[in-house]
Structure 1
């Protein structure tokens, strides 16, 4: 958060220099407590935790609400001034005093000498000087009088742990009897306060509210928002992590680091950050009061670098058991060290340790590192990471290499990838790293980076690793393969395919099994980047590589991807090849997963070419294998295509509900807004008359997968919307890139509405020759392939080309297309083809009959816009639609037209969209809308919220 936002109370972004983040709950608690006055609020926290910033943000909100806020602070070296912090706070409230002194309680006059700048507004001071006890009483009464005069008001006193005795007494007296509509807000440091804060035990009296608030350190998310406000794009996840490790969430350190990093070029060099001056001063102040034994213990803790037990700390410091116990109690009481757990003591954060470590004389540091190294070497099991650390600190890099490598191996064995990665980076920087270790360690680090959550940063580091001079080809290839995987799967960068090809080149001789898997994957990559000829070459190379290995997984992957090439080519030999895939439960899991992936790919291909029954069978088998082989991503994908197959079969009634259920079950599925499923949503919206929603769906699919074969259907959908608006040039613009992808991939069997739409667009643009060439190219591309949907689309192309010169022949072609779609099991394109046939018929009666069949089928689907277009054409042909019940025969029930309107309203359509969908005037649409809402006794909003209207 940049500021707390409550009602109209807003703080400016970075009111105190940085975004205010991570304290929204605490700010809300303070505001709630200070709104119900009188109130006493105590805010506790360590030095640098952000108490003052929280108070400042609270004060800003309160002032915006008309509440006065006066702040004073206690200091350890304050110049003598009785009740100084309270006087300072009252001075800041002076502008709220009445201009006439006579309007203020005379008791306030006792404060006039201490507030000379407000003397003209305060009553005259009493003439006599009372005794000390009476003076304290009069002062308290004077403060109350001023507070009553400036109410509503909050008196803030910060750092009360440094308050003198008389100030504490005054604050206690005020807290026990605050004036109405005023509050007292006190802050103090946890580690500095000993005994009762106000000198005596305090409990809020009846009628006085408030709260006690303990501030904790900031979470990483809050630090990220603060860093983002200061550094913008420079606040990378890696930098935020580094800042958090340095600060452990202490705002004091965070802000000082950000001040340095905000300087020109600072964010690019976080390694130059030192210990913040303010932190060093705090630690110097605390350690300066320690005994010799306490200082020795703190120095040992700084060298140990990790929380340690009392025995190890004492031994490292060279102290006896009794000395260790006394020193440990001392440093804990001084808040130099803190307890991290049972018998585990160390610094509160890394920078505190570094500040102490840096202040140790060089010989002392060296002596302590040697002593600690000896102590650790005698322990079992050995602390390998710590041994490596202390060896390196002594400056012997060659001696360090062996324990560092052992620490890496142990870290990897126990799954501590962060520690392993840090050590591997250090090892790879070793100037004399043996050649046999270079490739092994670089590859180990690459494997960790591949699984990193910070994909973009991993990419840069993987690129650097792959460029290390002298790296063996086998390891370089593996690293490039990891880079390709991150780029493709996590970043969505098409450069990943280039990295994959380079990896395969490195590995073809050194590791043919790995090379075969990569090449086989490249051979079926459906990105639009490579041509079909290039991909066939990759498959040939994959087969040659796998022939040189007996690796069963590589053989399974290459075999599976060969089959996927058959899928893409709609090869009639595919069913027999699929039947030979290994499915036996005793096969290796990777082999079964390869089979599941192939069956899924075959499902997708079968949908694209119009083999819907086969697709359903393949999908069910892929789902069963994916579930058994524990491939949750593939399970998610298979269920998406089950949903799509239902939609293709005409089950539109439950489409929205089933899609919502799928999104709820798989909120991270990339299929819902992209590819075939995203295109289906656009087609459905367009069929229902919601053209804006349809355009948004199509655009989203194209933007996500512009060069992917599965996005070409969305390009066709967007073009059809533009054709409906007579924007022929815009339609062609939407199609050009998709056509280029089909040409490059030779994916003519894929029937995704692209070819008929492109032919119609070319005809509309007056380029019949180009339309004929495209249809001929399509016909040649599907010849000999098993692709019934593409065959249906070829019939549509023929009908479009014949429509002008030979309408009866065109009608026959469209009718054959409709029959083909019905044979496939897709009623929606069948109805549209039947509509196209009807529009070519010269006999009005035959045309009306064909349009009636098309309109009825479309109405059953809920495609009200398409049905409305058919009904409109029927009216143009003179067809009347007599009402079997008479003109008013529906009474309180919805007529068929009103049911269409209700359907559109439930989908969120506006009146203009309803008019366009039903081919009626806007005024007629308004009439229908009013009738529907009246009959249903509802509103637009409720109808949309309820979804599909009741039958």
Structure 2
């Protein structure tokens, strides 16, 4: 008997064309913690990949839970994650073995309430409550590991869910694997999948999987698994052309063919004839739109009874998985009729059970196809009925009601419902849903002025703690252009705009917006004081202007009952004290409140901790700076206000890495941070500056000048004088190293900025480099005056790094004046200070200067110092600096000769060739290498040729900059 080629087909399709992706997914999850993203267009097979992985993982004893995101959802914070957690009930330990904070989930997961500790008191502040829930989720996931948490369709996730998943991904429980699926094309514009670009932290494995369409041979394999011998090449070609390799469309076509054959067999009682099977191609080719999913779905729908069709159409209008009761209400069917109709739709694979008791489409494309085929009048009736039915539920889903109201074309009603939904979302701490709704409201033309004002204010209050700079500032500017906006509301919105401009972009126009906000907030003194302290920070290097704004702010809130406003003023006062090098700031920082009932007071504490830590980094208290920044980040996490502080804190910690000599991953870490925060000017500036500094230390002058030029360009548009000084200092160092005359010319405008901003306490290498440039250019008096000015400015100021730089500068002047003994003393004080701070690169440079000053009177010690400095530079990877020390030894006659006769290294690299290889690996040109190693271009050519020959490679293929190249 011939085997029925359609037997068993049509419901569970063969696993085809995804073996590599499955292996990659399983390998990544094999060593937790792990984060895997799976990206692909609708119908590409993301869910199927997870199903196959889930079967394998379950067989290995690894638990798997899944949550689904939906395009239309109610403001329940972390809804998809909570849905997944409901599946952990059987794995939970006894309540007394769980972290007490997991009790916060009990009200949201009633089915698990008996298995959880008692709920803690709910914080009054929604943001703090949201962060409490985040900690509870993480603790619960930690308790049930090893576990894989899969969240599907993350492109539909709200901001709160994205924030939770981002925090989880950055600090995963040790036994957790996190898998996220999404469609890139359906992400909000310019928005990464987790709301901010993400890079896996050290110790976290993972993968980024992109699912592409199936190749023609893979479509043939899928068809053969379903149709058997009837899947000839011609039919497979037709399937491939119709689907363009999209698995969902292939499967829908195969369902059509299997059902057609099954129907023919049932009618005749026999297996379909071969000629009937041959008609499969004509069935597909005769479809109205051969490439679309819509026709495949329509074909499936046409086989349904009228009641089943009504159920499917109701599901399409609802647009989210719905209960049987809700579908029944919307169809108007008798419950005894609705049950079989729903079952029919499920058996036909038009609908599926997405969660216990909830039914929706297999794919959003199918929902859209059905929805678009519903006649307009009937579609309107269903939306109208959906509004009435949803209002009768115990907790009316306001987001869905707003959606249906808008679909009816009733814009006034939609605006009312959307505002109510946004308010509800904000109250629940779901700022993502609220932000989306508010943007939609504000995009509506001819908006009623009061509603426009309320919505704009709500958006500004959310936006001030976010990092979506471009979209939000554009919206706020558009709102501010409305002449009908009330003055006080205009002031509050402008305050938010000014804070965004200053915090995220260091925009030089920010003070102008803040000053206008002060005027517009005359009737809102506490908010006006917030603008004043922001202005004090913007003018912090102009002591007179900063003092004036601070005095005005303190006077404004002196008798105010608003504790948060007073805390904001106090935080700014401490920030300015730190910037001025006031020793009294440390005791005041230690007294900051860390457990105040008002979350806004704690947010100001976090701000003060960060600002003082940031300044401590500039003044030379590196260890204390790291502690304060970490404390600020911890408090921000507790409060749920991490985003801005996290970026700024990460930048400071990377700067600490540079100063402490931890350079190995510095450029990669900066690149990841820049991608994560594309709107943050500070991230771009620091990335270019770090690349320029590394290139300069390695003698890659061309790259150094390019990167430093880009950093300087960013600094020109910013309010931060330190940015200009830091970039210029390294630029001048490069010009000096290359013997270029423009070093002093470049220095002059930077010194004007230094004097204007009066930022002498912040060490940025400007003073000693400027002195070197002045002396090299014959401007001795300028050099002497600059050092004297810096010494005077730093009298009584607690800024050890700035004092060390001034000692370096004074030593350079004294050395130029032939006072080697006096110079040596200042150089040594600089060395000891940098060494105590913990800055090896600066320490080695000071040691090098000390050696040069000692050379005339103590050549042996000078040689020891230069050798030590060269070793330190070499260990850091500062090839050019190490070569400069070796050159100094030769110039001073202190070079220790090798034994007579040149050593033969055979096929191995000599020390000089190793230096050349390291420079080649960074992309240095021959001219760069000549300058870096102080050798002639002709000698460089010989070394490069020998190096490449020994390594058996070409210049383009030499190992990367962090690899020590060795000959085979």
For 2:935 and 2:517, how far apart are their aligned partners in 1?
61
Equivalent of residue 479 in structure 2, options 465, 476, 492: 465
Aligned with 2:259: secondary structure? coil
Distance 1:453 1:914 in 2: 42
User: SS of 1:344's equivalent?
Assistant: strand
Q: Which of 578, 582, 602 in structure 2 is aligned with 1:567?
A: 578
Does 2:457 correspond to 1:443?
yes
CA contact 1:607–1:615 (8 Å) conserved in 2: yes
Contact (CA 8 Å) 2:666, 2:690: kept in 1 or not?
A: no
Q: 1:552 aligns with which of 563, 578, 583?
A: 563
Counterpart among 818, 821, 834 of residue 830 in structure 2: 821
| Partner Cα separation in structure 2 for residue 683 and residue 55 of structure 1 | 41
CA contact (8 A) 1:673 1:697 kept: no
Aligned equivalents of 1:840 and 1:160: distance in 2? 79
Tell me if the contact between 1:854 and 1:867 (Cα under 8 Å) persists in the aligned partners: no
- Residues 242-283 of structure 1: CA distance to partner in whole angstroms, max 9, x if unpaired? xxxxxxxx9859xxxxxxxxxxxxxxxxxxxxxxxxx6x999
Deviation readout 1:798-824 (Å, 9 max, x if unpaired): 5656666xx324x35532430320341
Cα distance, 1:758 vs. partner? 2.7
Shift of 1:547: 1.5
1:620 aligns with 2:631: no
1:474 Cα deviation from its structure 2 partner: 4.1
8 A contact 2:504–2:681 mirrored in 1 = no
Shift of residue 747, structure 1, vs aligned partner: 1.0
Q: Deviations over 1:843-893 (max 9, x none)?
A: x8437457425413312312564454455455445556354xx32597879
1:336-394: CA deviation from partner (whole Å, max 9, x where unpaired): 8887664635785565466455532xxx6776666555544444344445555666777
Q: How far apart, in 1, do the equivalents of 2:483 and 2:959 lie?
A: 68
Specify whether residues 628 and 893 from structure 1 end up closer, same or farther in structure 2 by C-alpha distance, changes over 3 A only. Answer: farther
Aligned residue in 2 for 1:476: 490
The answer to whether structure 1 residue 860 and structure 2 residue 871 are counterparts is yes
Q: Is the Cα contact below 8 Å between 1:466 and 1:480 reproduced in 2?
A: yes
The corresponding residue for 1:725 is 738
Secondary structure at the residue paired with 2:521? helix
1:682 touches 1:697 (CA, 8 Å); kept in 2? yes
Separation (CA, whole Å) in 2 of partners of 1:674 and 1:398 = 44
Partner of residue 743 from structure 1, selected from 752, 755, 761: 755
Alignment of 1:156-171 (within 5 A): 157-158=237-238
* 1:59-74 superposed matches below 5 A: none
* Superposed counterparts of 1:218-257, under 5 Å: 252=292
Q: Quote the Cα distance in structure 2 between the aligned partners of 1:605 and 1:716.
A: 19
Match of 2:132 in 1: none
Is 2:615 aligned against 1:605?
Answer: yes
1:188 aligns to what?
253
Structure 1 residue 920 displacement after superposition: 3.5
How far apart are 1:617 and its partner, in Å? 3.6
Q: Is the Cα–Cα contact under 8 Å of residues 627 and 635 in structure 1 kept in the other structure?
A: no
Residue 832 (structure 1) shift: 4.5
Alpha-carbon separation, structure 1, partners of 2:897 and 2:344: 100
Taking a change above 3 Å as real, the CA distance of residues 889 and 710 of structure 1, as seen in their structure-2 partners, is same
**Of the two structures, which has the highest relative contact order with CA contacts closer than 8 Å and spacing of 6 or more?**
2
Q: Is the 8 A contact 2:256 2:299 kept in 1?
A: no
Decide whether the 8 Å contact of 1:516 with 1:554 is kept in 2: yes
Q: Relative to 1, partners in 2 of residues 1:851 and 1:547: Cα closer, same or farther, differing over 3 Å?
A: same
CA drift of 1:573 comes to 4.6
State the distance in 2 between where 1:537 and 1:382 align. Answer: 52
CA displacement at 1:539 relative to structure 2: 2.1
1:122 is aligned to none
Matched, 1:808 2:808: no
CA distance, structure 1, for counterparts of residue 815 and residue 775 of structure 2: 10
With over 3 angstroms needed to count, the CA separation of the structure-2 counterparts of 1:543 and 1:899, relative to structure 1, is farther
SS of structure 1 residue aligned to 2:770: helix
**TM-aligned CA distance change 1:327 to 1:599, over 3 Å:** closer
Give yes or no for contact 1:854–1:870 (8 Å, CA) kept in 2.
Answer: no
Give the CA RMSD over aligned residues: 6.0
Q: Deviations over 1:753-788 (max 9, x none)?
A: 213323443454455565566555545533453445
Summarize the Cα distance change of 1:414–1:747 in structure 2 as closer, same or farther, 3 Å threshold.
Answer: closer
Q: How far apart, in 1, do the equivalents of 2:764 and 2:845 lie?
A: 14
Matches within 5 A, 1:43-442: 157-158=237-238, 188=253, 190-191=255-256, 194-196=259-261, 252=292, 308=322, 312-313=326-327, 315-321=329-335, 324=338, 342=357, 344=359, 351-352=368-369, 355-356=372-373, 359-360=376-377, 374-385=388-399, 406-414=420-428, 420=434, 424=438, 435=450, 439-442=453-456
Assess if the C-alpha contact under 8 Å between 1:459 and 1:483 holds in 2: yes
Gaps of 5+ in 1: 1-5, 7-19, 30-53, 63-68, 70-139, 145-152, 163-184, 205-214, 216-249, 254-278
State the distance in 2 between where 1:625 and 1:425 align.
Answer: 31
Distance in 2 of aligned mates of 1:644 and 1:894: 40
Report Cα offsets for 1:391-439 as digits up to 9, x if no partner: 677787777776655444444445555654565567676979695x664
Residue matched to 1:102: none
Count of residues in Structure 1 that have an aligned counterpart in Structure 2: 705
For the 8 Å contact 1:616–1:642, the answer to whether it is kept is: no
1:194 positional shift: 1.9
Q: Distance in 1 between matches of 2:329 and 2:43?
A: 45
Structure of higher CA gyration radius = 1
Query: Is the CA contact 2:698–2:881 (under 8 Å) kept in the aligned structure 1?
Result: yes
User: Given the two structures, how large is their TM-score scaled by the length of structure 2?
Assistant: 0.57
Residue 6 of structure 2 corresponds to none
Deviation at 1:159, TM superposition (A): 6.2
* C-alpha distance 925-356 of structure 1, shift in aligned 2 (>3 A): closer
TM-score normalized with structure 1 length: 0.58
Contact 1:838-1:850 within 8 A present in 2 as well: yes
Superposition deviation, residue 662 in structure 1? 7.5
8 Å contact from structure 1 (residues 504, 518) kept in 2: yes
Distance 1:570 1:301, change over 3 A: closer
1:919 aligns with 2:929: no
1:447, 1:482 within 8 Å by CA — same for their partners in 2? yes
- The yes-or-no answer on 1:517 pairing with 2:597 is no
